[in-house]
Structure 1
Amino acid sequence: MTITTPTPAALRAGQTRNLALATLAFCISFWAWNLIAPLGVRYAQDLDLSSTQKSVLVAIPIVVGSLGRILTGALTDRFGGRLMFPVLLVATAPFVVLVAVAGELGSYPMMLIVGFFLGIAGTTFAVGIPFVNAWYEPSKRGFATGIFGAGMGGTALSAFFTPRFVSWFGYVTTHVIIAIALVVVAALVWMFMHDSSGWQPNRAAVTPKLVAAVKLPITWQMSLLYAATFGGFVAFSTYLPTYLKDIYDFDLQAAGTRTAGFAVAAVIARPIGGVLSDRFGPRAITFISCAGAAVLAIWMITEPPLEIPAGINFVLMAACMGLGSGSVFAWVAQAAPPERVGSVTGIVGAAGGMGGFFPPMVMGATYNAAEHSYTIGLTLLVVFATGAALFTLFGIKRKPVPQSTV
């Protein structure tokens, strides 16, 4: 996405409306992306799934939602968010309905295939970041991307409402409602959203743009950090209902409620991470995020009792991951070349999503059913988060401070 510099008045004229629409589109798409996980316990019972099979099922939408961001980010540079958002929302709707069909048929293979394509919903993140960047001046991009990123609260809505919708309206009807919501939001976006006057389409071929983005050190540096922060959020959001069932014996709705609380805490923290990054720099906020997650994972290994100690642990973990998710993309907004923001966002977003794909797999594979213990998986989280914190401090070069001249 090529960005010129419009006047502040021209930017202010459409900032609030377009940021709100982008956040709404991101939110409903993330609800769809996380549609399987809140019902994971139900699917495990109905389909007689092992722990590993259950982990694969709840994690499979993350694959396309992550890797697909590489392509959608580059396409957003060319076509803009006003076109890309509705296209992706409409493309997701049929697969939401097909999830219900697969569940009704009791077909695990079909559920995996449909869940894979449900991941299209997760690619909207790579559309929104460059779209929002173009609407805001550099000093406010941490705030803007943080507000947009709060749309990941769609996972909280899914965790809280999806099990309840199934109870209130029925299993198939719930999926039809979400599919209709996707189409309605796509229509609203198409009618009322506009690309920034400072944006110009980058019509260069997609492959060279991606190659150029891959060659930027900031791309890989931010990919690692986003895998640790946002990846951790995605992993917990998808696997937490299962974790709460295994460790604390919660039923489906109780686990969904607490998972929604986890997601809400991360959603609130994400724009705060962006704002703090604008003020104090993204390096400091990212370090606090990763170091805090490592300490809290150690506490989690001890299986603190319900409700207060365990609840505090989960909320603080969510806050750390939300802060880091906001600070990393404030860092991208500051450090990525403006004409490469979409491509860099796609790659970094993919890394974050894939960072959320593997932990549920590891948690399922290392779960000690006899002792009801996730010690191995949580220990690996401690190691990874600690490594990310150290990399934040020592692995990324600071830009030299310009010398004043007399």
Structure 2
Amino acid sequence: MTTTAPDAPPARSSLRRGHWIDHWDPEDATFWERTGAKVANRNLWYSILSEHIGFSIWTMWSVLVLFMGPEYGIDAAGKFFLVAVPTLVGSILRLPYTMAPARFGGRNWTVVSAALLLIPTVLAAFVMQPGTPYWVFVVVAAVGGLGGGNFASSMANINAFYPEAKKGWALGLNAGGGNIGVPVIQLVGLLIIATAGTSAPGILLGIYIPLIVVAATFAAIKMDNITSMRNDTGAFSEAVRESQTWVMSFLYIGTFGSFIGYSFAFGLVLQNQFGRTPLQAAAVTFIGPLLGSVIRPVGGWLADRYGGAKITFYNFVGMGVSTLVVLAASAADSLALFTVGFVLLFALTGVGNGSTYKMIPAIFRGQARVAIESDGADPGQAYLRARRLSGAVIGIAGAVGALGGLFINLAFRQSFMTAQSGDPAFWSFLAFYVVCIAVTYAVYLRPAPAHVALAGV
């Protein structure tokens, strides 16, 4: 059943003022077929491009550390800390980036956030050479966190363009296309190391500078702002008071936190635990993030079809099993089995990323149904609130979830410092996945309150 806000004329075209769209009602089936789908899909593709470059810049230090040979004088612990710094900054930036589309417009902020990526890229081009003080590397890596914020604003923006029935696939495609920026920059780094050696990190940075300009330009020309989102910053404070925000943020630590943390750490783990050279590590580092990125829309699609909570629950079970495979491989000193287990773990993080993000709009739309059916709330206002909260919670969960990447890299740093192995870190990750399994079941799968039963999660 399609619900149309009473004050929105049904089936009319979007009213446009330049790049601003004044009328947007994706739940109106006629509006969606006539106008909405075409506009939403166009914004989706250019959002993916910008977010893709953002992820590449955010994770570029996972590649740059592979160029840092003995002449840089940085040990394994120092490198793990170096890749943890942009994770922390990117996580923090996701909170203000979540509110930016509502304040400035989704298209406008995409242009700005894409252009800002020039700063960490140009700075890195200047400092990537032996003899640079370690603190300078830390500062420049921190600026690289700018790329981590793009995800939050992009997802909040795209969430507003799509109807509930299509959010899982659209958000999964948007996030997956962005996540692919991780393996792409790692693959580019591999090609550079294989052809020019570890002394040429400037080539990598020189490739991305014009790509950033292209992404910002296309966003300016092709994307739109939705007027109803503007100045809707009150949704953020409302979302902070909503308990479901923190449950979903916790689960997202397990899925996306694992994805981004492992993306930063995989190459360093292979080098330090199995003695791989930078080229040997780079040759497989990109495989896990690539699978995790490509499969993310599948997680959204599965959640659309079978329910996000079920997919998320069984996905965490799979992540726990995969972690046990990694630990068994480590005990047997089997690089092949270790790589298989780690890559499988990556793939499951992608599925979980898609399913958890599908759950967020479903939960708040379920709350809207309860308000309409039990309390007599106005349908238009109830569903508008659901869209507002969904966008805010997506940003908050993205920020909190990304902090998981920081914890993973700090855990690896401590693990290698004390045990010269990643095993203690993996045991801690396994324990966390067990807790995620329990939380998913307790909150969403056992007999639950009405707002969950109607949410379709």
Give the TM-score normalised by the residue count of structure 1: 0.91
Q: Is residue 346 of structure 1 aligned with residue 395 of structure 2?
A: yes
CA 1:127 to 1:389, structure 2 compared with 1: closer, same or farther past 3 Å?
same
What amino acid is the match of 1:72? Y
> Residues 70 and 343 of structure 1 are in contact (CA less than 8 Å); yes or no, is this contact kept in structure 2?
no
- Is the contact between residue 89 and residue 145 of structure 2 (CA under 8 Å) also seen in structure 1? yes
**Per-residue deviation at 1:253?**
2.5
Asked if 2 retains the 8 angstrom alpha-carbon contact of 1:3 and 1:134, the reply is no
The residue aligned with 1:23 is: 48
| Residue matched to 1:399 | 450
Between 289-298 and 377-386, the greater mean CA deviation after superposition = 289-298
- In the alignment, the residues of structure 2 paired with residue 64 and residue 45 of structure 1 have an alpha-carbon distance, to the nearest angstrom, of 27
The equivalent of 1:359 in structure 2 is 408
The one-letter code of the counterpart of 2:263 is S
Q: Is the 8 A contact 2:239 2:389 kept in 1?
A: yes
Distance 2:246 2:350 in 1: 20
Question: Which region of structure 1 is more displaced relative to structure 2, 47-56 or 147-156?
Answer: 47-56
Q: What is residue 81 of structure 1 aligned with on the other side?
A: 106
SS in 2 for 1:385: helix
Provide the C-alpha distance between the structure 1 equivalents of 2:249 and 2:270, rounded to a whole number of angstroms: 29
1:168: how far off?
4.8
Counterpart Cα distance in 2 of 1:213 and 1:5? 22
> Does the CA contact (< 8 Å) of 2:58 and 2:147 recur in 1?
yes
Kindly provide the amino acid, as one letter, of the partner of residue 121 in structure 2. V
Q: SS at 2:145's partner residue?
A: helix
8 Å CA contact 2:259–2:346 kept in 1: the answer is yes
Provide the residue aligned with 1:317 in structure 2: 345
Q: Which amino acid aligns with 1:340?
A: L
Aligned-residue offset at 1:306: 5.2
Amino acid in the other structure paired with 2:289:
A
Are the aligned partners of 1:142 and 1:329 in contact in 2 as well (CA < 8 Å)?
yes
Q: Which moved more, 1:127-136 or 1:223-232?
A: 127-136
What residue in structure 1 maps to residue 90 of structure 2? Answer: 65
Shift in Å at residue 231 of structure 1? 0.3
Tell me, yes or no, if the aligned pair for 1:44 and 1:54 is still in contact at 8 Å: no
Number of the residue aligned with 1:32: 57
Which residue pairs with 2:141 in the alignment?
Answer: 115
How do residues 257-272 of structure 1 correspond to structure 2 at under 5 angstroms? Answer: 257-272=283-298
Q: 1:59–1:361: 8 Å Cα contact kept in structure 2?
A: yes
Distance 2:312 2:253 in 1: 12
**In structure 2, what is the equivalent of residue 192 of structure 1?**
222
Structure 1 residue aligned with 2:5 = none
Where in structure 2 are the equivalents of 1:110-259 lying within 5 Å?
A: 110-150=136-176, 151-165=178-192, 168=195, 170-195=200-225, 200-204=228-232, 206=233, 208-259=234-285
Which residue is equivalent to 2:373? none
Structure 2 unaligned spans of 5+: 1-21, 365-385
Structure 1 or 2, whichever has the larger Rg, is 2
Q: What amino acid does structure 1 have at the position aligned with 2:124?
A: V
1:18 Cα offset (Å): 1.8
Which AA in structure 1 matches 2:343? V
- Following TM superposition, by how much is the alpha carbon of 1:5 offset from its aligned partner in structure 2, in angstroms? 1.8
Deviates more, 1:383-392 or 1:2-11: 2-11
The one-letter code sitting in structure 2 at the alignment partner of 1:56 is: F
Q: Percent identity?
A: 24
C-alpha displacement of 1:238: 0.2
- 1:165-189 CA distances to partner (integer Å, 9 max, x unpaired)? 3665732232132122111111011
Judge which range, 358-367 or 298-307, deviates more: 298-307
Shift of 1:162: 2.0
| Runs of 5+ unmatched residues, structure 1 | none
Cα distance, 1:278 vs. partner? 0.5
SS at structure 2 position matched to 1:200 = helix
- Offset, 1:36: 0.8
> Cα distance, 1:311 vs. partner?
3.5
Alpha-carbon distance in structure 2 between the residues aligned to 1:39 and 1:324: 28
- Is the partner of 1:313 in helix, strand or coil? helix
- When the two structures are superposed, what TM-score results if normalisation uses the length of structure 2? 0.82
Distance 1:270 1:305 in 2: 30
C-alpha distance 90-320 of structure 1, shift in aligned 2 (>3 A): same
| Displacement after TM superposition at 1:44 (Å) | 5.9
Letter in 1 for 2:297: P
1:128-151 Cα offsets, whole Å, 9 max, x none, are 212222222101100000101112
Q: Which range moves more in the overlay, 146-155 or 310-319?
A: 310-319
Identify the residue that residue 308 of structure 2 maps to in structure 1: 282
SS in 1 for 2:192: helix
Q: Spell out, residue by residue over 1:106-138, the C-alpha distance to the aligned partner (whole angstroms, 9 max, x if none).
A: 221111111111111111111121222222210
Cα distance change on mapping 1:136 and 1:299 into 2, 3 Å: same
**Per-residue CA distance 1:326-347 (angstroms, 9 max, x = gap):** 1111111222421123322221
Residue identity opposite 1:225 in structure 2: L
- Equivalent position SS for 2:225: coil
Change (3 A) 1:88 1:46: farther
Q: Tell whether 2:25 aligns with 1:5.
A: yes
Aligned counterpart for 1:333 among listed residues 350, 361, 368: 361
- CA distance 1:375–1:307, change in 2 (3 Å): closer
Distance 1:334 1:242, change over 3 A: same
Query: Which residue pairs with 2:427 in the alignment?
Result: 379
1:197-240 alpha-carbon deviations (Å, 9 max, x no partner): xx513315x4x543221101121011101111000011110000
Counterpart contact for 2:193–2:279, Cα < 8 Å: no
- 2:77–2:416: 8 Å Cα contact kept in structure 1? no
Output the amino acid matched with 2:422: Y
CA drift at 1:98: 0.7
Which residue identity lines up with residue 442 of structure 2 in the other structure? F
Q: State how far apart, in whole Å, the 1-side matches of 2:411 and 2:270 are.
A: 16
* Matched pairs, number: 397
Match of 2:8 in 1: none
